[in-house]
Structure 1
Amino acid sequence: MTPAQVLREADAVLLDFDGPVCSIFAGLPASVVASRLKELLIREGVRLPKDVEALDDPLKVLRRTADIAPELVDKVETALMANEVEAATCAEITPGVREFLAACAVAGKPVAIVSNNSEPAIETFLALADLGEWVTAVSGRPIGEPEQMKPHPQSTLRACKALGVEPAQAVLIGDSGFDMHAAHNAGTRSIAYANDPGKAESLTQAGADAVTDNMAELADQR
């Protein structure tokens, strides 16, 4: 199916944040935030396993904290959230997303953000980018429960409930395998935003119902 066909059949849109809406770590690199979190763990007396030392994704550091130092999840979570809010102030908006959100409003399709990023960071960016009026709900990372981040369906199902739609009536647009798996696990359709070379094939293999490499293309829902 084409992205336009999938969108036409949907009553609501669930939109991943980092990728389809913005590049949250464009100004404050993810590797810098990951290093800050690892330094926090070391200061707390944690001896980092080799795989954690190599991580440059702060969300992966949070996930692994639950395994290696569960008593520090809340402290790492708090630090990550503060860094995400800082990053949101210098994030780069994704070309075409403003036009897409406007098109959803015209079509009468409510939009929710479904993300592994924190809600304060998402709301900070939406306000600064003047996108908040087009977003009905924000379903961010389950605080203190990293195991329930996507691909777990919780945040996706919570967004559907906030929009008042059944999962089968919604479509999730995301740029990662986790997004495609979360859509499948929740029972929604999915559109892959393949914003990097090679992503189209991998996201199709992950279960995407349709693929686009341009958010502006999704604004044409005829």
Structure 2
Amino acid sequence: MAALSVQHGAAARMLSAASVVLLDFDGPICSVFASLTAVGVAEDLRGRLARAGADLPPDLAGMDDPHLLLRRLPGALLSRGASDGEIRLLTRQFHDWLSGAERMAVKSARATPGASEAISGLIALGKTVRIVSNNAAAAIVDYLCRDGVKVGAIQAEQVFGRPDDPHLMKPNPHLLLEALKSLGPLGDAGHCVFIGDAPSDVSAAAEAGVKFIGFTGGAEARQKRLLDAGADPEALIQGWSDLGDLSLLV
């Protein structure tokens, strides 16, 4: 890797000061829906909901983000007069359907260039690394165990995936706080940085009181969304190579 770029000094300073690094999964580590698209998954799941008798309002009927659809599903069903039991059942079914789709998708997920080397480098520097994601934990573990995939020797117990209650998904800080809580005295939010690629990640980091590095993947639209959500423009990286030689962080 090349020496650290001054352009990304804010991100480097955050990583240097942090003892704990939290990572989103889809984006910083891999592209989950590289082959099985999120739009296609959302369309399939909407169809399943319809066949299960769900009455979706127009704003959800055309939604192509499966995670956002899950987060909004309980409230949408309530607004259409569904009973508490129906809401619980349909939300649980949707959660399970989405988990199955994610486990299928990670079989062909595309690794983010430099992710494995960067995570291994952070661990070698003594950083504690955890994954916090709105993706299902089972899908993340499947990816980590996939033939040919090496992601900094991260183990299943270091993965904090989608909670059963969709209200606790990011932008709620629940996953970040749970990851920090699991570390005991080491889980100090003031010494933690979260690397994510979505506006919900920006909000979750702010609510949890941790610093945030935005991972744009080189996409201008994603960069704009992160900036609009309040990300520090000096703490955005296009990819892992922007951080240069991680040994220079010490």
Secondary structure of the residue that 2:94 maps to in structure 1?
helix
Query: Is 1:206 paired with 2:226?
Result: no
Superposition pairs of residues 13-162 of structure 1, within 5 angstroms: 13-69=21-77, 70-71=87-88, 72-128=90-146, 129-131=149-151, 133-134=153-154, 137-143=158-164, 145-162=165-182
The total of aligned residue pairs comes to 221
Aligned-partner Cα distance in 2 for 1:138–1:147? 19
Contact 1:24–1:91 (CA under 8 A) maintained in structure 2: yes
Pick which of 56-65 and 198-207 moved more: 198-207
Secondary structure of the residue that 1:48 maps to in structure 2?
coil
Q: 1:186 Cα shift?
A: 0.3
The percent of aligned pairs where both chains have the same amino acid is 38
Contact 1:101–1:219 (CA under 8 A) maintained in structure 2: no
Secondary structure of the residue that 1:89 maps to in structure 2?
helix
Distance 1:47 1:89, change over 3 A: same
Which of 215, 220, 229 is residue 193 of structure 1 equivalent to? 215
Aligned-partner Cα distance in 2 for 1:134–1:40? 34
Aligned-partner Cα distance in 2 for 1:46–1:167? 40
Q: Which consecutive residues of structure 1, in runs of 5 or more, have no partner in the other structure?
A: none
| Paired position in structure 1 for 2:81 | none
Q: 1:130 Cα shift?
A: 2.5
Normalising to structure 2: TM-score of the pair? 0.83
Contact 1:105–1:134 (CA under 8 A) maintained in structure 2: no
Aligned-partner Cα distance in 2 for 1:201–1:51? 23
Distance 1:201 1:63, change over 3 A: closer
Bigger radius of gyration among the two: 2
Normalising to structure 1: TM-score of the pair? 0.93
Deviation sequence 1:4-57 (CA, Å, 0-9, x none):
111001001000011101110111111111112111111111222211121111
Code of the residue aligned with 1:137 in structure 2: it is: Q
Aligned-partner Cα distance in 2 for 1:168–1:208? 17
Q: 1:106 Cα shift?
A: 1.4
Pick which of 47-56 and 10-19 moved more: 47-56
